[in-house]
Structure 1
C-alpha cells in the first residue's frame, strides 16, 4: 500500500491528505494569499487589490461542500469586505495585529478544536496561528519561515490560484472534486 495520495497537483503524503480531510474550517490571510501582496494606492488615497477568480470559485465550492471559511487580516479594507462577502464568507476579521485572538474566537464560536482548522498564509504575522492549527498551508512564494512550518506548500503563488489549489485538495480528499465543481466524472 502506498504512503502517498495523488491529487491533481501531485502526490502528497497520506498524513497530509488526512490533515486536509479532517479540516472543518479554512482560515485565509488576504495580502499575499488572496492577492499577490501588492497594494495599489492612488493619488487620492484609494486602494486597489486584485483577486483571482479561480480562488473565488474554489472558496464557493468548499463552502458548498460544508467547510467553513474565514479570513483574518492585519489590514482593513472595504475592498476585502466586499469581495469576501460576495464569496459567501461569513467570518471576516480585519485589522487584526494579533491573529491568535480572532483564531481563538472562531474556534470557540464554531465549536472546533485547533486540529480541525487549516490556515493558508504567506508571512511572519501568520506564524502564531499556523503553529497552533491542524494543517498549515503556505503559498509558493511565502516567507521562508512560513515555508519551513508548512504541512503543504502550494505550487501556485499568492494571488495566482494558491487558494483554489488548496480548495481543490480539500474537495479531492473528500472524493467530491468533480461533483463540487460541476464536472462530469
Structure 2
C-alpha cells in the first residue's frame, strides 16, 4: 500500500472513464432514444473536493451523452472528452496541454479500452467490478464498484496521500465543535 500512496502523492491530474466507472455501466434508453445514467452523489462530492484541492480532473469516454456533459458541468469539470474510441491520444494531448507528465496522472477505468491509458499513467486504478484483465494491470483496485463510490475511493486516496483529507474532514466537523 505504501507504493500506492507514493504514486498518489505525485498526482496532479485524474482522468475518469464514465460508463462502468462514474456509473455502474447500465444504460437506460427511453422509447425516444433519450439516454439516462445514474451517478453516485458521493463520487461527485469526492471529485469536487479533489478539484478544490488543486488536482485537475478530466473525463475521457467512448460514448457521447448529453447527460454526461450536464453532470460534468455541474461538478465544474472543464476537460470533458466524449466519443473517444482511442483514448490514449486524447489523454496525451490533454496532459501535455496542462503541462502534466503522464507519471503525474491517474486514470480510472473498468474495461479493455481503458488499458492503453492505464499503462501510461503514474497511477492506474480499476474499479472493484472491472474486467479481470483491467484489474490485473491496475496499480490499485477500489473497494467499491463503478457508480457505487469507486471515484470517491480514489479521490480520498489521493487526498490522504497528499495530506489534505484530514483538514477537509475537520472543515466539515467545524473547528469550534467538541470532539
TM-score normalised per structure 1: 0.91
Distance in structure 1 (CA, Å) of the matches to 2:168 and 2:99? 25
How large is the RMSD of aligned CA atoms in angstroms? Answer: 1.0
Could you tell me whether the CA contact under 8 Å between 1:127 and 1:146 is conserved in 2? yes
- Secondary structure of the residue that 1:156 maps to in structure 2? coil
Distance in structure 2 (CA, Å) of the matches to 1:91 and 1:183? 28
Name the structure 1 match of 2:145.
Answer: 157
**Residue 176 of structure 1: how far off its partner (Å):** 1.6
Distance in structure 2 (CA, Å) of the matches to 1:180 and 1:94? 31
Distance in structure 2 (CA, Å) of the matches to 1:155 and 1:111? 31
- Secondary structure of the residue that 1:183 maps to in structure 2? helix
Unpaired runs of 5+ in structure 2? none
Could you tell me whether the CA contact under 8 Å between 1:27 and 1:119 is conserved in 2? yes
TM-score normalised per structure 2: 0.94
For each residue in 1:100-134, what CA deviation from the matched residue of structure 2 results, as whole angstroms up to 9, or x when unmatched? 11101111110111100100000001001001110
Could you tell me whether the CA contact under 8 Å between 1:171 and 1:180 is conserved in 2? no
Name the structure 2 match of 1:77.
Answer: 65
* Count of paired positions: 173
